Amino acid sequence: MAKTNKTQKQIREEKELAALTQRITDIYSGAGGRKWDEESECPSPEELSLVIPAIRSVFDPDEQKPYLWDPHCIREFIDPSGIAKMLYQSGIRAL
Protein backbone atom coordinates (compact mmCIF):
# COMPACT_ATOMS: atom_id res chain seq x y z
CA MET A 1 0.00 0.00 0.00
CA ALA A 2 1.39 3.36 -1.04
CA LYS A 3 1.78 5.96 1.64
CA THR A 4 0.62 9.44 0.73
CA ASN A 5 1.92 12.52 2.44
CA LYS A 6 -0.25 15.53 1.94
CA THR A 7 1.36 18.90 1.97
CA GLN A 8 0.10 21.71 4.16
CA LYS A 9 -1.22 23.39 1.02
CA GLN A 10 -3.23 20.30 0.00
CA ILE A 11 -4.68 19.99 3.50
CA ARG A 12 -5.59 23.70 3.55
CA GLU A 13 -7.20 23.50 0.10
CA GLU A 14 -9.25 20.44 1.11
CA LYS A 15 -10.49 22.26 4.22
CA GLU A 16 -11.34 25.40 2.24
CA LEU A 17 -13.23 23.39 -0.39
CA ALA A 18 -15.09 21.46 2.32
CA ALA A 19 -16.11 24.73 4.03
CA LEU A 20 -17.29 26.19 0.72
CA THR A 21 -19.23 23.03 -0.11
CA GLN A 22 -20.90 23.12 3.31
CA ARG A 23 -21.96 26.76 2.89
CA ILE A 24 -23.44 25.98 -0.52
CA THR A 25 -25.17 22.86 0.82
CA ASP A 26 -26.75 25.06 3.48
CA ILE A 27 -28.07 27.36 0.75
CA TYR A 28 -29.50 24.36 -1.13
CA SER A 29 -31.12 23.16 2.10
CA GLY A 30 -32.72 26.55 2.65
CA ALA A 31 -34.03 26.69 -0.92
CA GLY A 32 -35.52 23.22 -0.66
CA GLY A 33 -36.88 23.64 2.84
CA ARG A 34 -35.20 20.42 3.98
CA LYS A 35 -31.75 19.00 4.62
CA TRP A 36 -30.13 18.61 1.20
CA ASP A 37 -28.88 15.13 0.29
CA GLU A 38 -26.47 15.51 -2.61
CA GLU A 39 -26.34 11.76 -3.22
CA SER A 40 -30.04 11.34 -3.94
CA GLU A 41 -31.39 14.74 -4.95
CA CYS A 42 -31.33 16.95 -7.99
CA PRO A 43 -32.61 20.53 -7.71
CA SER A 44 -35.88 21.43 -9.38
CA PRO A 45 -36.06 24.51 -11.61
CA GLU A 46 -37.85 26.32 -8.78
CA GLU A 47 -35.05 25.47 -6.34
CA LEU A 48 -32.42 26.58 -8.85
CA SER A 49 -34.25 29.88 -9.26
CA LEU A 50 -33.67 30.41 -5.52
CA VAL A 51 -30.24 28.79 -5.20
CA ILE A 52 -28.36 30.58 -7.99
CA PRO A 53 -29.22 34.17 -6.92
CA ALA A 54 -28.59 33.29 -3.26
CA ILE A 55 -25.14 31.85 -4.00
CA ARG A 56 -24.36 34.82 -6.20
CA SER A 57 -25.37 37.33 -3.54
CA VAL A 58 -23.31 35.55 -0.87
CA PHE A 59 -20.14 34.80 -2.82
CA ASP A 60 -20.07 37.46 -5.56
CA PRO A 61 -22.11 40.41 -4.27
CA ASP A 62 -20.06 42.96 -6.24
CA GLU A 63 -20.42 40.91 -9.44
CA GLN A 64 -16.67 40.81 -9.97
CA LYS A 65 -16.93 37.43 -11.69
CA PRO A 66 -20.02 37.72 -13.94
CA TYR A 67 -18.91 34.82 -16.16
CA LEU A 68 -19.66 32.38 -13.31
CA TRP A 69 -23.34 33.15 -13.60
CA ASP A 70 -23.69 32.78 -17.38
CA PRO A 71 -26.24 30.21 -18.60
CA HIS A 72 -23.54 27.84 -19.84
CA CYS A 73 -22.45 27.33 -16.20
CA ILE A 74 -25.85 26.09 -15.03
CA ARG A 75 -24.71 22.47 -15.32
CA GLU A 76 -22.38 23.13 -12.38
CA PHE A 77 -25.36 23.97 -10.16
CA ILE A 78 -26.75 20.43 -10.19
CA ASP A 79 -25.08 19.68 -6.87
CA PRO A 80 -23.33 21.69 -4.15
CA SER A 81 -19.95 20.03 -4.70
CA GLY A 82 -20.01 20.90 -8.41
CA ILE A 83 -20.63 24.57 -7.84
CA ALA A 84 -18.16 24.61 -4.92
CA LYS A 85 -15.40 23.25 -7.17
CA MET A 86 -16.15 25.79 -9.89
CA LEU A 87 -16.22 28.69 -7.43
CA TYR A 88 -13.09 27.47 -5.64
CA GLN A 89 -11.18 27.23 -8.92
CA SER A 90 -12.26 30.81 -9.61
CA GLY A 91 -10.76 32.02 -6.35
CA ILE A 92 -13.91 32.21 -4.24
CA ARG A 93 -13.66 30.94 -0.66
CA ALA A 94 -16.18 30.44 2.13
CA LEU A 95 -16.57 33.58 4.18
Instruction: Give 64-73 pLDDT, tens digit per residue.
Output: 999 998 888 8
- 63 assigned to some structural domain: yes
19 band by pLDDT with thresholds 50, 70 and 90 = very high
- 30 assigned to some structural domain: no
What was the pLDDT predicted at 31? 85
Q: How many domains does the chain have?
A: 1
Question: Which residue pairs, CB below 8 angstroms and at least 24 apart, start in 44-51?
Answer: 48/74, 48/77, 51/27, 51/77
pLDDT tens by residue, 30-52: 888 889 888 888 888 888 889 99
| Residue 52: domain span | 41-95
- 87 assigned to some structural domain: yes
- 71 assigned to some structural domain: yes
76 band by pLDDT with thresholds 50, 70 and 90 = confident
- 5 assigned to some structural domain: no
- 13 assigned to some structural domain: no
